[in-house]
Structure 1
Amino acid sequence: MKRRIKTLFIIIGLFLVGNISYGQFIGYPFYKYYSSQDYHGGIQNWKITQSQNGLLYVANNFGLLEFDGTNWNKYSLESGTKCRDVFVDTDGKIYIAAQGDFGYYVPNELGKLAFVSLADSIPGENRNFDEAWRVFKKNDRLLFCTFDDIFIFNISGELLDIVDPETDPDNFFLVNNQLYLNQSGSGLSIMENGNVKQAEFGDLFKNMTISGILEINNNQLLISTLKSGIYLKTGNTISIWNTSNQDIFQSSNINQMIRLKSGEIAIGTQNEGLFLLNSKGSIKMQLTKGRGIENRTVLSLYEDIQGNLWLGHNNGISSVALNSPFEHLNEQTGLPGTGYDALLLRDTLYLGTNNGLYFKNILNKNTTFQKVKNTTGQVYNIEHLHNSIIMGHHSGTFNINNGEASILSETPGTWTFLDLKNHPEYVLQGNYKGICLFKKSENGIKFHHKLEGFEESSRVMEEDEDGNIWMTHGYKGVFKLNLSEDLKSVQSEYYGEEKGLPSKVLINVWRLNNNLIFSTESGLYEYNKKQDRFIKSSFLSEYFPENVQFVSFTEDALGNIYFVSTTETGVLEKSTNGNYNKHTAVFNQLINALNDDLHNIIPLEANKVLFAAKEGFIFFDNSVQKLQDIDYNVIFTKISISNSKEDSIITYGREMRGDKVSFKQINKGIEIPFKDNSIRIEYSAPYMNGQFQNEYQYWLENNEVGYSEWSVRTAKEYTNLKEGDYTFHVRAKNIHGQLSSVATYEFTILPPWYRTNWAYGLYIFLGLITSVLVFVIFELRYKKKTEIITEEKEKEITRIDSELKTSEQKLEHLKNEKLKSEIKLKNKELATSTMHLINKNSFINSIKSNLNNISKRSNNQEVKHEIGRVIHNIDKNISADEDWEHFSIHFDQVHGDFIKRWQKDYPNLSPQEMKLSAYLRMNLSTKEIANLLNISVRGVEIARYRLRKKLELERSDNLQEFILKY
């Protein structure tokens, strides 16, 4: 990357030029050309206008053209004649003047424009006119101007008056509610109170064909003529408007003249294309064939809502983005190839492309770029160094002087130059194979020698405050370079991921706000001298996501920062408090236009930069209003029922609301039969800036959960919709990211005949009939079954008698089973009693233990003797083992020989663990078990744990559930 801050000398030079006005010719505005094949009409376009909702209308040789921002529609007259003029009233009616006819277009029952002739209401002697040339609305009157008569109608379409000028008119103009007529032989006339009379200055134009009349400052009139130039009428004085350009205006043959919102004058000519003039008549810009537009003949002009200038050509239609802050410098300006670098030195602009170096004097609007001799091939860099213009080229380093290049060094691939702070007499050059040193002299700079010790391609270099030179490589990382004291060699230190950088690829260094900033594929970094490593930079962090990847930066003299990242392009406009205002929306139109080989932004002066583009350069003026907030709507252009046979149109999106045309749905009772449950909805947003980059979101309520992803498609089709009520929502996002209001369309899919209300009524009726028939059938079957059952009952009685004996046997069996159950119950009770006995023994054991303790502590031998007798009686009467044996017997009877089976399957269990298992089988609590085993609750938990280990249970297994299920 070359250095983005030019020398102080250059900046002073730029300001000495007087902050060059870029109203002077630099490049051409962006434009879009539509051929007759695009709009499917005739070649000539006589008038252009626009409706309040943004639709564009053109009076064409083949009829009326309509442009909705996506598609062109053509409405031909039945007679097939040419349409000469078009006017759209505030009520949406579209009035036209045509060959042999005039009238208006309104939507029919389907919403398609249909023509209503007003000329047919004219009396027979006046009906046979040749051309209806103009249509105007004056107050509440409509004026249809033919070359014979002027027909006056009211807004209801009733003929009020016919004005017959004595001399046939050639053209008509409505200025400040005053109708002017250009009449051959008599000059300029006016119509007042139904009479035509010559204007007080009209005879001065008797031999001229007037093509335009505008009212300008101080009640002055500007009058353009076809071949006689432009005149200014002030009071009763007529003068040439601009004498220096009068010859140009005369030879150009002016077809139309309009005043733009900016106050400038636009002139469409027959021979020289379009002229843009300031208020004094000076030419600011000329667009003609091969230089900004595709056709040199401009028959009509119109400035649309967004500030685009539409040109109706003799063959085609153009839209010129006059309100855009961008201009294109490409092959039409004499600049072929892809843009790489540029230099503005005083009034000369140098542009380097892959085809060579070009230059022009920007103050001379009539010149195109010229090629500097001996520069054919790839230009990488153009600098002003030590009073010389130096070019970095694929073939080496060149000095530029008087439009010719002379070789300074044949070292191939000169990327960039860098003035050295510590060695001001030298200039460092980066090239394909390393770096070289150039020395300054009275005659400019001269090649000195190649520096040893560094062989990397050095395209991007910056010097820090300590004199270190930082070179970034596209896919190898960062190098810190230091020159030897004798300036013959270079010592380099490599910085990569081990020094804090996220990777070694896609790294560049930039000088922003007088600091070195390193852009990486994961955000901005800066060098920390104390740590000798790179750290995340907080610079600009509040304006961008953390890991955004930048590909180009530059800073102008006002501190505005222009940037290109992988996700957006824009400018950070510096405010007086040091903060930045971020603007990106207007730059969306540069998508896919910029040079994606070596991105570059070149500052020319304050608020003015060049973007290197795939075709030349794109000039950006930051002082021009960047974006207008304009309300716009999505309109439905066609809604149809689609099937395999043909499309059935529901509407073309327009309806009459009383006497006015509406693009909003008025009739919301649209019902579609179920057999036609496939619908196609077409829509468009008539936003004319970058109209083919408008994006849309849609949502069919009752069928989809929310809006779709953004897409450029302008139609959506739904098939096999279920019956129900639906509302289709659609909204647009223009190239600047601005959202339109939401357009909706409601419709109902009717159910199939078999799910309609009358069908359900039929189902109920048939159900009732069926029920009656079923009842009768079942009644007959019941009677027949009754007879059969009577016979079978007798047989059944006999069978029951025979089975009675068998039942008595079964009863005896049941009694036996009952006795067994009673025995089992008693066994349970016995087991319970045994439990109580064990508990009692446990209690007695505890008493025995207490008595032993008392005996040990007592010194009275008599007491010890008595206690001993009591303990002996206790031992004599207690037999815990025998109790357990009895308990085991009864427990097994109740629990299916559990203890026997358990002891057999787990023979390594201790008696204590066998008892614990039995108690767990009885689902006793831990406290109850502790009393039975004569141990503590903690002891029970320990015993449970040991039992789990012997049973080899997993941690997830429940011990008690395991025993209960055993």
Structure 2
Amino acid sequence: MTKYIIRISFLLFSFAFAKAQELPPVVNYLPSIYDADNQNWMLTQGPEKTIYVANNRGLLAFNGAQWDLYPSPNRTILRGVKAVSDKVYTGAYMDFGVWEKDVYGVLQYTSIVTSLKIEMIEDEHIWNIESYGQYVLFQSLNRIYIYDTVGNQIQMITPDKQITRLFLVDDDLLFQVKGEGLYTIQKGQPILFSADPVLFQERLINLFRIDGELIGITANNGFYTIDKQQVVPWDVLSNESIKEYTIYSALQRKNKSIVLGTIENGIVQLSKEGTFQYQIKQGNGLNNNTALALLEDKDENLWIGLDAGIDCINSQSPFHQYIDVSGELGTIYASAIVNGYLYLGTNQGLFYKPEASQSDFIRMPGTEGQVWSLRVIDGVLFCGHNNGTYLIEGIKPQLIATIEGTWDIKKIPGYDNFLLQGNYDGLYVLEYINSGWRVRNKIKNFVNSSKHFEIIDGNRILVNHEYKGVFEIKVDPMYKDAEEVFKHTSINIGEHSSLSRLDETVFYANKEGVFIYNPEKQGFVFNEKLSIIFNDDIFVTGKLVEDQDKLWTFTKDNLISIESDKLDGDYSVKKISIPISLRNTVEGYESFVNIRENEYLLGTSNGYIIVNTSEDENEIQDYKINLKTVAVHSLGSEPQLVSYNDKIELSSRDNNISFSYSVPEYDKFHTTEYSYLLEGLYDVWSPWTTNSSIHFDNLPHNSYTFKAKARVAGEETSNEIQYSFSIERPWYLSNLSIVLYVILTILLFILLNWFYKRYYKKQQDRALERTKKDMELKALESEKQIVELNNANLKQDIDARNRELAVSTMNMVNKNKTLNAIKNALLKAEKIEDINKIVSLVDKTIENEEDWNFFEEAFNHADKDFFRKVKEKHPTLTANDLKLCVYLRLNMSSKEIAPLLNISSRSVEIKRYRLRKKLDLSRDVNLNDYFINL
């Protein structure tokens, strides 16, 4: 009955403990991350801290940055793996062997079974592998194969019955045979250690040595102390409750504590005395409740091979997490430890529990709703709440101010019975009177929300409003009226900005940096040194958390402390790596409270994180960066791995090269970043990035040295990796090509010279031709000018002839007129004979052909072709007709023509008519126009 009560009590205790635990961080690796099967049967760690996992699909290798899967050679499940020096031994179905890295950094498998021609038992499967000196032992259910790595020989232990498990305890090799007991291996031979009936019935999962005793954990019946004489239950309180679990794996850690992997309840850690420490399972950390394999690595991380995934518990982390699995707490905005109670102020109300208890948190009745702050003033806990202000006494709340929205509460210097609180609508004064606190008054003439405020002297208050700025208020000595209010213009408005105090100095922080209030200038001064905090790391919040002798603030990847040097007054800055993605805090409302020496509680949206800030806990190990692979490829081809041990020379086509590297760091809260430099291409290091590989395309021919370095949690690794390589000149830049280029260049110059000469010859010929043509043109121009001159002379001659013709015509006309007049006068004379002589002479003169011939000659000079044209066109015309034609061409009237022909005007008209008939012209054609246009 007593055992039953103990068992039930422990189970209830364990259940409560499992719900309200502050657990180390757990890193989850889902199958989708490592890209292999769900089940993971065994784990080991290599000399470079690489983790190797026996997975259903093959051998998994994880270097902290990349997962690689090496399929099982015979495509069967790997259940055993063991790293020994630079080799990895694995066991599978009907095969076991060794993996070694080739010159490319890739694991290559050699089957020991095949190379030594070992005949395995039908359907035999290797389940466990242990290393012992120069020997590696492969255990199946039927045999233990002892492989001599030096002599490359195999020795076998083949019991009559099934082997349940092979164990290595310190320097002792033991194995259990079902129905026979526990054996040791000495000089390659099995020797019975214990044949106790308990060992016939119970299957041992693992063996440990604690204080000189051999302790065994069984699958279903707890712990036993084992010696050669007897096997008895281990006398520890946890033993009875452990029997309720089905144990599949177990491990003794370096500090002698024990970890049990269960089938249905995750993992349980016990102290070396067997007391319960913590339990992690699905829901509060693990991917899955079935722990198939356990491994403690060189950094004391606990690795768990699960039925669905792989988890890593950072046991030595300075962080421990309380995960609110139920979601009842909500987001934590404030916390405090007072009089043995841990209080959490959340958006769901005020919760509490005894500080040392692992029980669940309880919500304090009457405090439902948003809690903004928890302040301990002179040992009294005040709660700033959306409902107002509460005074907390133990587990009882007292609402002392019903003014909506209390942000914060602070003491007023010089007034022990006064407190100043900031509310949604301004500032209020609380007064202690009649053994209790009450609201005395609101400070008049100031109505801005007062989330952050600081009292800077007896009657001056600074208030920060994120969206309006920082105000300075001068109040009267009794803190009733705001006598003066002005806004500081030396600083800008900033979202998530805050005011805080360190010693007597007031700080303001926003995205632009950190500013310090200068009382003499009554303004804020930019502090360059502290502002680097936000320059070096991406700004998240300007919230500055007060903590006795330091301030805390938060950046993208770090938690940062600011401390003042007591001697020189300068400020020192320290960083603790805790990325924002893991903090889960509300920006601008971060809560970070000192609860114990070097321990702080950071409120999150799903619980809280306990942060140990001691330097020992946060010391960064000496991590090293390792080069994983180097691959090259030409355009359009698949990457090909190359040796990373020697300097290589690549062809000009293979001028695309990639590098992958890693730091074997597995801490959840540590961010690993990398920087690289390719000498021969760049002169400066690249910015820090989390990418663990880099690819260079189309590199020109040159000699290069690739360098990479890393930093973990802001601290650089102690080493850099280097890899030298060169890229050959392309064929078109080879020595032969250059000689050919020189020859071709010379030939080209010769050819160009020939072409230039030919060109210039042609140009010269063209110039001569142009000159010749120009001269010919000039000659033609000259001839033209001569012709024009001749024409001008001819024109002048024609004009002269025309003048002569006109003069002749006029002379003829005048002469005939005169002669006719004389003739007429003489006819009237008396002596007929004399008169007749004179008349005959006049007639002879009138009819003188010489005048006409002279006229005709003059006319021909003036109009050479007229007679020819008229005669050709009208050959029947007589000489008198031609005369009339000439006079008509001269556009003379009948009256003007009559004297010339020595006839009357009427006779001229008759002649004109007859001429028209001969010319066969119609009456509508003007004779003058006809001859003028002919």
Q: Tell me whether the two structures share a fold, i.e. TM-score over 0.5.
A: yes
Measured in 1, the distance between the counterparts of 2:527 and 2:367 equals: 42
Give how far 1:304 is off.
2.7
Measured in 2, the distance between the counterparts of 1:495 and 1:116 equals: 81
Measured in 2, the distance between the counterparts of 1:447 and 1:251 equals: 58
Match of 1:667 in 2: 646
Match of 1:131 in 2: 125
Measured in 1, the distance between the counterparts of 2:532 and 2:703 equals: 45
Q: Given the alignment, which residue of 422, 426, 433 partners 1:430?
A: 422
Match of 2:610 in 1: 619
Measured in 2, the distance between the counterparts of 1:454 and 1:338 equals: 31
Matched, 1:687 2:665: yes
Give how far 1:542 is off.
12
Match of 1:750 in 2: 728
Give the 3-state SS of the residue equivalent to 2:243 in structure 1: helix
Give how far 1:532 is off.
7.2
1:626-665 → structure 2 map (5 Å cutoff):
626-644=618-636, 646-651=637-642, 665=644
Matched, 1:171 2:165: yes
Matched, 1:411 2:383: no
Measured in 1, the distance between the counterparts of 2:400 and 2:382 equals: 9
Measured in 2, the distance between the counterparts of 1:742 and 1:66 equals: 22
Q: Given the alignment, which residue of 486, 506, 520 partners 1:517?
A: 506
Q: Given the alignment, which residue of 563, 569, 573 partners 2:559?
A: 569
Gap change, CA 1:740 and 1:394, over 3 Å in 2:
same
Match of 2:317 in 1: 324
Q: Is the 8 A contact 1:335 1:369 kept in 2?
A: no
Match of 1:251 in 2: 244
Matched, 1:734 2:712: yes
Q: Is the 8 A contact 2:557 2:578 kept in 1?
A: no
Q: Is the 8 A contact 1:69 1:692 kept in 2?
A: no
1:864-875 → structure 2 map (5 Å cutoff):
none
Match of 1:700 in 2: 678
Give the 3-state SS of the residue equivalent to 1:292 in structure 2: coil
Match of 1:224 in 2: 217
Give how far 1:421 is off.
5.2
Gap change, CA 1:464 and 1:265, over 3 Å in 2:
farther
Q: Is the 8 A contact 1:690 1:735 kept in 2?
A: no
Give how far 1:641 is off.
0.8
Q: Is the 8 A contact 1:421 1:467 kept in 2?
A: no
634-643 or 560-569, which deviates more: 560-569
Unaligned runs of 5+ in 1: 1-21, 656-664, 782-966
Q: Given the alignment, which residue of 363, 370, 374 partners 1:382?
A: 374
The CA deviation string for residues 544-591 of structure 1, in whole angstroms up to 9 with x for no partner, is: 79999983444556x455444689532357999999995744324356
Gap change, CA 1:447 and 1:227, over 3 Å in 2:
farther
Amino acid at match of 1:700: L
Identity of aligned residues (%): 23
Match of 2:134 in 1: 140
Amino acid at match of 1:679: I
Match of 2:80 in 1: 85
Give how far 1:171 is off.
0.8
Q: Is the 8 A contact 2:502 2:550 kept in 1?
A: no
Match of 2:839 in 1: none
Give how far 1:603 is off.
1.8
Matched, 1:460 2:452: yes
Match of 2:288 in 1: 295
Give the 3-state SS of the residue equivalent to 2:579 in structure 1: helix
Gap change, CA 1:453 and 1:563, over 3 Å in 2:
same
1:432-511 → structure 2 map (5 Å cutoff):
432-440=424-432, 445-447=437-439, 450-463=442-455, 466=458, 470-474=462-466, 475-480=468-473, 482=475, 485=478, 489-494=480-485, 496-497=487-488, 502-503=491-492, 508-511=498-501
Give how far 1:737 is off.
2.6
Measured in 1, the distance between the counterparts of 2:555 and 2:337 equals: 25
Q: Given the alignment, which residue of 192, 206, 225 partners 2:186?
A: 192
Give the 3-state SS of the residue equivalent to 2:237 in structure 1: helix
The CA deviation string for residues 34-54 of structure 1, in whole angstroms up to 9 with x for no partner, is: 111211212111112221212
276-285 or 95-104, which deviates more: 276-285
Amino acid at match of 1:512: L
Matched, 1:598 2:598: no
Measured in 2, the distance between the counterparts of 1:731 and 1:680 equals: 16
1:390-401 → structure 2 map (5 Å cutoff):
390-398=382-390
Give the 3-state SS of the residue equivalent to 2:576 in structure 1: helix
The CA deviation string for residues 723-780 of structure 1, in whole angstroms up to 9 with x for no partner, is: 2333222222223332352222333323333333455577789999x89x99xxx9xx
Measured in 2, the distance between the counterparts of 1:469 and 1:400 equals: 27
* Higher relative contact order, structure no. (Cα contacts within 8 Å, ≥ 6 residues apart): 1
Give how far 1:86 is off.
1.2
Q: Given the alignment, which residue of 701, 717, 725 partners 2:695?
A: 717
The CA deviation string for residues 254-278 of structure 1, in whole angstroms up to 9 with x for no partner, is: 2333233444333322222122322
- Structure 1 length as normaliser, TM-score? 0.67
Decide which structure has the larger Cα Rg and report it.
2
Match of 1:884 in 2: none
Q: Is the 8 A contact 1:697 1:732 kept in 2?
A: yes
Matched, 1:106 2:100: yes
Matched, 1:343 2:321: no
Give the 3-state SS of the residue equivalent to 1:280 in structure 2: coil
Amino acid at match of 2:403: T
Measured in 2, the distance between the counterparts of 1:98 and 1:581 equals: 60
Measured in 2, the distance between the counterparts of 1:81 and 1:516 equals: 68
Measured in 1, the distance between the counterparts of 2:103 and 2:170 equals: 37
The CA deviation string for residues 764-822 of structure 1, in whole angstroms up to 9 with x for no partner, is: 89999x89x99xxx9xx9xxxxxxxxxxxxxxxxxxxxxxxxxxxxxxxxxxxxxxxxx
Give the 3-state SS of the residue equivalent to 2:577 in structure 1: helix
Amino acid at match of 2:725: F
The CA deviation string for residues 8-36 of structure 1, in whole angstroms up to 9 with x for no partner, is: xxxxxxxxxxxxxx999663332221111
Gap change, CA 1:266 and 1:721, over 3 Å in 2:
same
Measured in 1, the distance between the counterparts of 2:96 and 2:30 equals: 26
Match of 1:72 in 2: 67
Q: Is the 8 A contact 1:396 1:409 kept in 2?
A: yes
Unaligned runs of 5+ in 2: 1-16, 758-934
Give the 3-state SS of the residue equivalent to 1:424 in structure 2: strand
Give how far 1:288 is off.
1.1
The CA deviation string for residues 624-662 of structure 1, in whole angstroms up to 9 with x for no partner, is: 511232231232335131523x313123xxx6xxxxxxx
Give how far 1:440 is off.
4.4
Measured in 1, the distance between the counterparts of 2:302 and 2:89 equals: 22
Q: Given the alignment, which residue of 566, 589, 595 partners 2:579?
A: 589
Measured in 2, the distance between the counterparts of 1:122 and 1:547 equals: 59
Match of 2:345 in 1: 352
Give how far 1:433 is off.
0.6
Matched, 1:33 2:38: no
Match of 1:924 in 2: none
Measured in 2, the distance between the counterparts of 1:580 and 1:689 equals: 33
Amino acid at match of 2:507: F
Give the 3-state SS of the residue equivalent to 2:312 in structure 1: strand
695-704 or 755-764, which deviates more: 755-764
Q: Is the 8 A contact 2:629 2:641 kept in 1?
A: no
Give how far 1:290 is off.
0.8
Match of 2:853 in 1: none
Measured in 2, the distance between the counterparts of 1:582 and 1:23 equals: 40
Q: Is the 8 A contact 2:103 2:645 kept in 1?
A: no
Gap change, CA 1:444 and 1:267, over 3 Å in 2:
farther
Gap change, CA 1:186 and 1:389, over 3 Å in 2:
farther
The CA deviation string for residues 688-710 of structure 1, in whole angstroms up to 9 with x for no partner, is: 23599422222222222232222
